[in-house]
Amino acid sequence: MSITISVLLENRANPGGKNLLRAKAGLSLFIQDENDSILFDTGPDDSFLYNAGRMGVDLTRLTAAVLSHGHYDHCGGVPWLPDNCRIVCHPHVACERYSAIPFLGYTARLKKLSLNNDYSRYRMEYSSTPLQIGKRFMWSGEIPVAKPHAYGVIGRKKANADYVKDEGVLIYKSDLGLIIFIGCGHRGLMDIVRHCQSITGINHIHAIFGGFHLRSASPRKLWAVRQFLHGLKPDKIMGCHCTGKWGNLWLPGTVTPSTGDIFVLG
C-alpha cells in the first residue's frame, strides 16, 4: 500500500513551477492512502488552503488534522480548517510562547511564537501518549529527550524555558517500514526516530519527511546526525522547512521538497 504526499506549503516554491502557489516559512502536508486522509500541520495562515485549491486537493473529508506543535508557522492555518474537523495534538499546543535571550539576569522576549487560536469549533483530541489515527497512521505523543534544548520561553509573566514538549510526529506504518513526518524537529532527529521505533516495534525506516531543524546546527551536531542516519539506512530522507541548505548539505542524497510537489511513497 502506498501513500501520496502533497506539499501544500513549504518555505520554497518549486523552481520549475509557474509561481501560481504561495510559498512561506512553514509546513503543511496532505497525506493520503486508500483508507485515510491526513493534514499534517497548516502553515502560518490560509496559504495551505489556497494552494490546496490550486492543486485540486479536497480538504473537506479529512480523517484528521495533526498539529506537530504550537508554533505559529505550523498551526497558524487552524482558523481555516472546516468546522468540526478532528484535530490531534499535544495538550500543550496552545501554550503562549516567545523566542527570547537572557540579558543581565533578565529574559528578554523577542517574538511571539504562538497564536491565540480558537479550538472550540473543532473535535479536539489532546494526547501526550501515542494514539492510533485511522488504520496505519499514528500520533507519536510526547517524545522523551534526555537533554532537551530550550527554544525560547513559555508564559508572559514568568519565564519558563520552552523545550517544545508538545512536539510530536506523524507515523505511517507502510509495508516497507516506517514513514515519519516531522514538523520542525525541535526534539532532535535521533530521539524522534528512536521513539517511533520504540512505540511501533518497527526498526526499519522507509522515509523521514519534514523539518529537521538543522539550518544553523553546529558541525558537531550535523556530523552526529549524519552518522546516525548512515547507520539507520533509511530508504529516503526528505528534508524541507527548517532543515535548511546548511542541513541538507551535510545529508548526502537528501531530497528537498518544495511547495506544490507530490510524492508517492511506500
Q: How much is the mean pLDDT over the chain?
A: 93
DSSP 81-120: SPTT-EEEE-TTTT--EEEEEEETTEEEEEEE-------T
Could you tell me which residues come within 8 angstroms of residue 235 by beta carbon, excluding any fewer than 6 positions away?
176, 177, 205, 206, 207
Model confidence at 9: pLDDT above 80: yes
Average pLDDT over residues 58-80: 96
Distances (CA, A) of 157 to 96, 106, 149, 166: 11, 12, 21, 20
Task: Summarize pLDDT for 140-166 with one digit per residue, the tens.
Answer: 999 999 989 889 999 877 778 999 999
For residue 17, name the pLDDT band (cuts at 50, 70, 90).
low
Whole-model pTM over 0.75: yes
Task: Summarize pLDDT for 19-63 with one digit per residue, the tens.
Answer: 789 999 999 999 999 999 999 999 999 999 999 999 999 999 999
